[in-house]
Amino acid sequence: MIALNALNILHKLKLLRLLTKKYKNDEHIFGGITFSNRLGTAAGLDKNGDFIDCLGALGFGFIEVGTITPLPQPGNPKPRVFRLFDQNAVINRLGFNNKGVDHLVKKLKSRKYKGVVGVNIGANKSSDGQQRINDYILCFNKVAQYSDYVTINISSPNTPGLRNLHDDKNIKNLIESIENSARELNFNKPIFLKISPDEPLEVIKSIAEYVQKSILTGLIISNTTINKEALKNSIYEEFEGGLSGSPLMERSTSLLRVINQEYPELPIIGVGGVMSKEDFKKKLESGALLVQIYTGFIIKGPRIVSDILN
């Protein structure tokens, strides 16, 4: 957050362009939307839409803001983000700290960035059962008009019970509710479902099948993992929270590859562990239509954008 504030100041002073270069054109049209390139920010980096213009100025092809919830909430107690520089990884247990959907809508309305902005929506920690579904619908209805695409996030490990939305009955209920809202609003922009890498393959396949039959566009693969096997014998092995960065690359990319092979028509945004241009290419070769980064940006800094795009 401190780093983003610093970038924001540079942006306001019009100095950010010193950090960025012109990238070769890799325009990509998808769902009627033109992406200036295929590298975007993953959700969580700009939860409240406070840094859209500054992140846009760094050269990303698209920005995903959120996860946003209907009401503002503080998230879990600090410390809650751990940077593991040796492993190119982060463990976080933020728990959807955010300023609420109304704040985000204001930021979306006032943005100057002309590129693609997707909004990632979630549910408040205090909401359960049908109220949880209602939270998604409330956010969807509020952001629909101001976003280029919407992501439904059912995969944060830091909101207790949220991942239960991967279950057959729950996911059908959620998708049907979103479908109803989308029809009422005449919403015809892309809608993605962001999934966990920790569910059994059969569960992910049945979700993919259901998404393909629904009004939804595709999947984002994947969110962080709670599997800490990669950190064996380190103090972090027992840390609670989601692991991202290099230790997630293999798992999230092989899941992406398997789902792409089985459902080649299903658009997928690949995310998890991208630290270099090679990783970025691997995601595309494995079937990703677009790629997002978060941990690579934290660990390597803004120059990762030019490293990947040049």
Ligand X SMILES: Cc1cc2nc3c(=O)[nH]c(=O)nc-3n(C[C@H](O)[C@H](O)[C@H](O)COP(=O)(O)O)c2cc1C
Q: What are 218's strand-pairing partners?
A: 192
Answer yes or no: are the C-beta atoms of 120 and 148 closer than 8 Å: no
- Which of 138/221 has CB closer to ligand X? 221
* Strand order, beta sheet including 89-92: 81-84, 89-92, 242-245
Using rule CB under 6 A, residue 107 touches ligand X: no
Among 10, 19, 33, 81, binds ligand X (CB under 6 A): 81
Q: What are 64's strand-pairing partners?
A: 118
How far is Cα of residue 201 from the mean position of the Cα atoms in its chain?
20
156 has catalytic annotation: yes
- Which of 76/153 has CB closer to ligand X? 153
Rounded to a whole number of angstroms, the minimum distance from the CB of residue 263 to ligand X is: 20
Answer yes or no: are the C-beta atoms of 259 and 268 closer than 8 Å: yes
- Which of 267/296 has CB closer to ligand X? 296
CB count within 10 Å of CB 181 equals: 17
Give the binding range for ligand X (CB under 6 A) out of 19-27, 159-167, 180-188, 288-296: 288-296
Among 11, 166, 194, 257, binds ligand X (CB under 6 A): 194
Q: How are beta strands 149-153 and 191-195 bridged, if at all?
A: parallel
Using rule CB under 6 A, residue 251 touches ligand X: no
CB count within 10 Å of CB 128 equals: 11
> Choosing from 36, 156, 244, 286, which is the catalytic residue?
156
Active-site annotation, residues = 156
Can you give the binding site for ligand X, defined by CB under 6 A?
42-44, 47, 67, 81, 90, 92, 94, 120, 153, 156, 194, 223-224, 244-245, 248, 271-274, 293-296
